[in-house]
A = this chain, B = another copy of it.
Amino acid sequence: MNKYRIGIIGATGYVGVELVRALSGHDGVLLTTLVSQSYVGKKFSDVYPQFRSICDIELSGLDVSLMKSTCDLVITALPHGVSSKVVPELLDAGLKVLDHSGDFRYRDVTVYEEAYGLNHPHPELLSEAVYGIPELYREQIANARLVSDPGCYPTCSILALAPLIKHQLVSTDNIIIDAVSGISGAGRKADLPYSFCEADANYKPYAVEKHRHTSEIEQELSVLAQTDIALTFTPHLAPMKRGMLATIYADPMDPNNFSIDDVRKLYEEYYSNEYFVRVLSDNALPETSLVIGTNFIDIAVAYDKRTKKIKVFSALDNLGKGAALQAIQAVNVMLGLDEQAGLSVLCSGV
| B-binding segment of A62-70, A86-94, A300-308, A329-337 | A300-308
Any B CB within 8 A of the CB of A256: no
Please report the C-alpha to C-alpha distance between residue A193 and residue B94 in the assembled complex, in whole angstroms.
39
- State which of B182, B200, B285, B345 has its C-beta within 8 Å of the C-beta of A205: B285
| Contact in complex: A204, B285 (CB < 8 Å) | yes
Would A241 and B302 be within 8 Å (CB), given that A291-B50, A349-B17 are in contact?
no
Would A307 and B230 be within 8 Å (CB), given that A52-B278, A240-B239, A347-B54 are in contact?
yes
| Contact in complex: A197, B288 (CB < 8 Å) | no
Q: How many copies does the complex hold?
A: 4
| Contact in complex: A202, B289 (CB < 8 Å) | yes
Please report the C-alpha to C-alpha distance between residue A293 and residue B18 in the assembled complex, in whole angstroms.
14
Mark A residues whose CB is within 8 Å of B: 14, 17-18, 20-22, 24-25, 48-54, 174, 176, 178, 180, 182-184, 188-192, 194-206, 208-209, 230-232, 234, 236, 238-243, 245, 247, 249, 275, 278, 284-294, 296, 298, 302-304, 306-307, 309, 311, 313, 315, 319, 344-350
* 7 closest residue pairs by CB, A with B: A17-B349, A202-B289, A204-B287, A25-B345, A196-B199, A50-B290, A178-B178
